[in-house]
Structure 1
Amino acid sequence: MSWLANLTQTYNDHLELVGQFERKANGREYALIPVSHTTQTAHIEVHLDEEGNFIAAYVRDKVEGSTIIPCTEAAASRTSAPVPYPLFDKLLYVAGDYVQYCGEVKGTPYQDYLNQLQTWCDSPYGHPKVRVVYEYVSRGTLIADLVARKVLHTDNSGKLLKKWESPSGDQTVEKPMIFSVLAGDQSSAFIRFAVNIPGDEEHRLWRDSSVQQSFIQFQESCLSDKDICYVTGEVLPIAEKHTSRIRHSGDKSKLISANDSAGFTYRGRFRTSREAASVSYMASQKGHNALKWLIERQGITIDGKVFLVWGNQSLDMPEPHQDTLDLYEETGVDPVLEDSEKDDDFDIYAVESAAGIPRPAGMGDPTQKAYARQIKKAIGGYRYDGQQHAHVTIMILDAATPGRMSITYYRDLNHEEYLNRLEAWHTTCYWQHRYRKNGMGEWQTFTGAPATRDIAFAAYGPRASDKVVKGLMERILPCIVETNRNLPQDIVRSAIQRASNPVGMEPWEWEKTLSITCALVNKYEERQGFEVALNTETTDRSYLFGRMLAIADLLERNALGREEKRATNAIRYMNAFAQHPSRTWKVIASNLQPYQERMGIEANKYIKLLAEIGSMFKFEDFNDTPLTGLYLLGYYSQRNDWYTSKKDKNSGSTTDTGEESADQNEQIEGEI
């Protein structure tokens, strides 16, 4: 139960935020919910006066409809059984005239709602505003009042419309708002109440802390069965049922459930579910409410799977799934190295790439040491002294069925240990990338680790389903936060295969796939010690073949000129080259002859470099054995090094004029 204990402690550490709404970027509100409460999306807001008379009603959309509602144990886990919420609920429960407008119902949901509400009102913890609501709903005129105010709409027979139809086919009649906010028909509308009392500033009952405390005290008075809580170790009132709606308001899946007394949930091991585990009501409420809050606040949800990271001392921690550029932006670190951190071979370049895309005017090849300093600076923003007991919790949640949810991954790490492992990931699975734009629409060049979502797209294509993406993210996570975990070989292999097939992708997509694949290969071959900067000492056959492919590509591209956009022979034969390098090289080399003749003496520098690379091969290595992913590193680094001339390295100036750079930027915008 360590996960529930961590969540319970998180709730206790943030009691000052209970009931306070925060707003997300999309405008939706969320809050750390009080115990004995849950959240729902209300569709209709009904205003009453202090005598319980109907004043007005308004339709609320998803952004405005977020509502904290009182909730009993039974209602928190309700599925198809008619169990009412204590105060706010659907028309089925709160409307006494539901049968008149919607037809027959099973059981007595309205009467059950009234009885429960009356019990609360008559208890020592009753609230005068709740009594006002009871006085109104007991009259049984809610739907009639809403129809009279044109909030709800009926057909010719006096029943609620199931879907909107323009009267007499008149398309000019505006569609009522209620049909835009409801997924089903009008009978499924959720109702919340506001009581307008002169001199009372808070008329919204879902925001009134005194109403919330009233129900909390009432609910606690109803709990009597005590046992040892497996979370706190104390003898406390025990929760018989546990809450659902963890990921969102419509989520029916539960993390703790033992209602299958006739099946095999616990039979054969225990006589009752209590013998398996007992969790106190308060621990269950606090833990689940903290989890809901954290998911809304900082969770990443993909196809129902939730990825969540939080710290007990500081909630906001760097996400393991983000790329290095996101890390820089969060901590305010400039992704471009400062002048004092630049190496001798750092430079600016802006020339055409092998895919026909101009290379960026931006950061050149920083050394591993300088790049590591930048990462340490970014991660350092999350480090602080005097927190020896600080820890970070990593959790992945998923539901295999609509009713059952599981924790598919859980780790609780020391704060410093987590940051150290994150720093190690960003300084080992790194390469130079240029596939993101800033707020001004300009392409950004950064050196670092790619986001795990982008790794999925590089390995399986941009049309990979959410199911594939979330599966890869879950498999990559242990490689980031655990020690001695290698990247899954099949993911690296798939990315290499896609990067080796540039003719099957748009140029911008291939450039992104190539740089991400280079980062994966660099991590997978970590012991080799390769960097973005060209390694002119290595005799690895795959790396050397990659360098030769880059030179062939550069030679032909330069001979074709800017106006010609077609792929070079090196690009066209790249896939075959990776499988049969020696045989395919003969084809590529023979196809280079016309371009050498076209370039004349200018081709000598390419031929000379090819000869130098060829002389580094061992005789037995120049064969048709398939290349490893290191050939992509050789290709990328050789191409990158070529675009940084010796003159630029020494002077720090670019060989392109401002006019040429502007033309290249226009070409980037047109192609990407």
Structure 2
Amino acid sequence: MSWLYELYETYNSNVDRIGEVEKKRNGQEYTLLPISHTTQNAHIEVDITEDGEFHSARVIDKNHASTLIPCTESSASRSGKKVAPYPLHDKLSYVAGDYVAYSGATDKKEQYETYIQQLEEWVHSPYSHEKVVSIFTYLNKKQLIKDLVNEGILFLDEASNLISKWNKNYEKIHGEKPEIFGVATGGQESAFVRFNVYSPTKLLDKVWNDKSVYDSFIQFYNQSAKDADICFVSGQVLPSTERHANKIRHAADKAKLISSNDSSGFTYRGRFDKSGEAVSISYEVSQKAHNALKWLIHRQGRMIDQRVFLIWGNDKEDVPDLHEDTFSFFPVDLSEQEIKSNTLENYANEISKAMDGYRNDLSTHSKVNILVLDSATTGRLAVLYYRNMNKELYLKRLNEWHQTCVWVHRYRKNEDNKYVSFYGTPATKDIAFAAYGSKANEKLQKELMTRMYSCIIDGRKIPQDIERNCFYRTSNPVSMDKWEWEKTLSITCALINKREGYGVALNDDINNRDYLFGRLLAIADVLERRALGPEETRATNAIRYMNSFAKHPERTWTTLQASLQPYQARLGTKALDLSKLIDEVASRFEIEDFNNKPLSGKYLLGFYSQRRALYQKKKKETTNEGENE
């Protein structure tokens, strides 16, 4: 239950942000919910005057539909034919006293009666609110649907009943398809209505954003007696609950993290007679923990195929995300610097300094929580991974990851939407891209991201199947576009370098056969590319034969060397330096190592480093020539 306690503490640390509306990147709004409240997508907004009269109404745009509403334990978990009204805002069949008259659904009569009775109890309680009184006064008149029809929000058929499903026959009566049928997926009957109080003389907060209304309902609802028991999370004796929140990942999410409604199965029976004997959680803790979780997911969580990846701190919510690449917190373009210097040690030091910046203001109790959630069914949500660790240790492990699994990459874009070159670690989603390709489904991506946790946090080796997939895809460049292969190559080199620790810069002292074969392949690629010129975009023989080269290096090199002769002849003296380099690298082989044994991932390191060194040398020469002129 430690994750529940950490969420409970996070809520208590952010009580000043309750009800504060924030926006995600896609423009959707979210907030830290008060206890005894939830969110619901509303379709119709009705304005009521202070003296309880109908003023106006409108259909709500989908981008502004999310509404914070009070809820009871019963309404938060209602399903099927169960009658459990929300205390204030609810579906049309609950809030409209004239619903039966306009639909003929006599079985829905109980919904309004239960709703209005519950609202009346709130109005007559010591914790009543003037806005709630205005809404109750109006709804007690039982004329909501009549007013909405007159306002042009709802529409009736020839028999003066609500139209359940729109068809072209109704265009003769009402013209084009009304807006309400585009937002309420289940038809007019399923429309959710939210209420607001209008004043011509005063500027009033929206009812669903009014903190005094929140407090009014919380005090009213908490006065009702609940059975007290020891809370397994907080350790205190508090009113307990067996009904816990849903809508954790989004407004339509029915999955629950904690549930005990299976009294006939084996959820707890066989060991316990009642679910409370297995675990008891207080209503307050459950509400605060679940509301904090919803808020954090909207604020900084990421979701792939309904799997939630969440990282937060107990003192400060924002902590560096282990899924991100180095460029996310150290956005430096190496393109210009690479021309002047071939060493990357200074960038490694700068990355460490950037990570050290997060260590400021650390207290002795600073913790980081890592949580992964997913659901196997629509009703059950599971904790797949949870880790609570010291923040200093977390930053240390993250720094080690960004110092060891590194390479030079050229697939990120800056603020000007231009590709940049950066030194560092790829993001976990990009590792999934390298392992499974750009068309890999989200199920593969989320599984890989989950498995990478132990590599980053515990310093374990990267799983062999992931590294092997990356290696095989990189060794087959003709199967993908050039940009995709270049991205896959640099990411694969980062994973292999995590194990080997060779570094990006070319190392002339390494005489490993795989590394040397990779260097030969790079020289052949550069030589042919220079001979073809910038206008020719076809793949070189080195790239075309790369897959064969990885499996049978000696035999394939013989073919490649023969294919280089026409290009060496075309370049003439301009090919001398590369021809000499081929001889120099080949001379480093031990005779018994020059064979057809398949190459390991080290050959990719040699290939990339040698190719990069040759391009860097060419850039320097071009730059120097330009300066001399």
TM-score by length of 2: 0.95
Question: What secondary structure does 1:382 align onto?
Answer: helix
Q: Does the C-alpha gap of structure 1 residues 583 and 223 become closer, same or farther in structure 2, counting only changes over 3 Å? A: farther
1:337 Cα offset (Å): 10
Runs of 5+ consecutive residues of structure 1 not aligned to the other structure: 339-345, 349-362, 659-672
Q: Return 308-317 or 584-593, whichever deviates more.
A: 584-593
The correspondence for 1:431, drawn from 400, 407, 415, is 407
1:71 Cα offset (Å): 0.7
Which residue of the partner structure matches residue 486 of structure 2? 511
Runs of 5+ consecutive residues of structure 2 not aligned to the other structure: none
Q: CA contact under 8 A between 1:347 and 1:648: conserved in structure 2?
A: no
Aligned equivalents of 2:393, 2:425: Cα separation in 1: 19
Which residue of the partner structure matches residue 98 of structure 1? 99
One-letter amino acid of the structure 1 residue matched with residue 475 of structure 2: S
Q: CA contact under 8 A between 1:365 and 1:532: conserved in structure 2?
A: no
1:602 Cα offset (Å): 2.1
Which residue of the partner structure matches residue 360 of structure 1? none
Which residue of the partner structure matches residue 54 of structure 1? 54
Q: CA contact under 8 A between 1:460 and 1:494: conserved in structure 2?
A: yes
Q: Does the C-alpha gap of structure 1 residues 364 and 67 become closer, same or farther in structure 2, counting only changes over 3 Å? A: farther
Which residue of the partner structure matches residue 496 of structure 1? 471
Aligned equivalents of 1:280, 1:50: Cα separation in 2: 37
Deviation digits for residues 308-361 of structure 1 (CA, Å, limit 9, x no counterpart): 1111111111111111111125xxxx45499xxxxxxx632xxxxxxxxxxxxx
The correspondence for 2:398, drawn from 422, 426, 429, is 422
The correspondence for 1:600, drawn from 572, 578, 603, is 572
Q: Does 1:654 align with 2:626?
A: no
1:105 Cα offset (Å): 6.3
Which residue of the partner structure matches residue 22 of structure 2? 22
Question: What secondary structure does 2:359 align onto?
Answer: coil
Which residue of the partner structure matches residue 602 of structure 2? 630
Q: CA contact under 8 A between 1:23 and 1:29: conserved in structure 2?
A: yes
1:593 Cα offset (Å): 1.7
Which residue of the partner structure matches residue 366 of structure 1? 343
Which residue of the partner structure matches residue 449 of structure 1? 425
* Residue pairs, 1:534-545, within 5 angstroms: 534-545=506-517
1:174 Cα offset (Å): 5.5
1:464 Cα offset (Å): 1.1
1:456 Cα offset (Å): 0.9
* Residue pairs, 1:145-294, within 5 angstroms: 145-165=147-167, 175-197=177-199, 200-294=202-296
Aligned equivalents of 1:446, 1:583: Cα separation in 2: 36
Count of residue correspondences: 624
Which residue of the partner structure matches residue 410 of structure 1? 386
Deviation digits for residues 115-157 of structure 1 (CA, Å, limit 9, x no counterpart): 2112222222222321221222222222222121111233344
Q: Does the C-alpha gap of structure 1 residues 100 and 455 become closer, same or farther in structure 2, counting only changes over 3 Å? A: farther
1:101 Cα offset (Å): 3.7
One-letter amino acid of the structure 2 residue matched with residue 585 of structure 1: W
Q: Return 189-198 or 259-268, whichever deviates more.
A: 189-198
Deviation digits for residues 594-623 of structure 1 (CA, Å, limit 9, x no counterpart): 112222222222221111111111222212
Which residue of the partner structure matches residue 641 of structure 1? 613
Which residue of the partner structure matches residue 356 of structure 1? none
Question: What secondary structure does 2:241 align onto?
Answer: coil
One-letter amino acid of the structure 1 residue matched with residue 191 of structure 2: A
* Residue pairs, 1:317-328, within 5 angstroms: 317-328=319-330
Which residue of the partner structure matches residue 550 of structure 1? 522
Q: Does the C-alpha gap of structure 1 residues 479 and 105 become closer, same or farther in structure 2, counting only changes over 3 Å? A: farther
Aligned equivalents of 1:208, 1:588: Cα separation in 2: 75
Aligned equivalents of 2:540, 2:619: Cα separation in 1: 27
Aligned equivalents of 2:396, 2:35: Cα separation in 1: 36
Q: CA contact under 8 A between 1:44 and 1:60: conserved in structure 2?
A: yes
Which residue of the partner structure matches residue 9 of structure 1? 9
Q: Does the C-alpha gap of structure 1 residues 636 and 106 become closer, same or farther in structure 2, counting only changes over 3 Å? A: farther
Aligned equivalents of 2:551, 2:434: Cα separation in 1: 20
Deviation digits for residues 68-87 of structure 1 (CA, Å, limit 9, x no counterpart): 11011111122323321111
* Residue pairs, 1:6-155, within 5 angstroms: 6-80=6-80, 81-104=82-105, 106=107, 108-155=110-157
Aligned equivalents of 2:399, 2:97: Cα separation in 1: 61
Deviation digits for residues 205-253 of structure 1 (CA, Å, limit 9, x no counterpart): 1111121111101111113300101111111111121111111111111
Aligned equivalents of 1:633, 1:103: Cα separation in 2: 75
Aligned equivalents of 2:501, 2:412: Cα separation in 1: 27
TM-score by length of 1: 0.89
Q: Does the C-alpha gap of structure 1 residues 656 and 195 become closer, same or farther in structure 2, counting only changes over 3 Å? A: farther
Deviation digits for residues 548-598 of structure 1 (CA, Å, limit 9, x no counterpart): 100111111111111211111111011111111111111111211211222
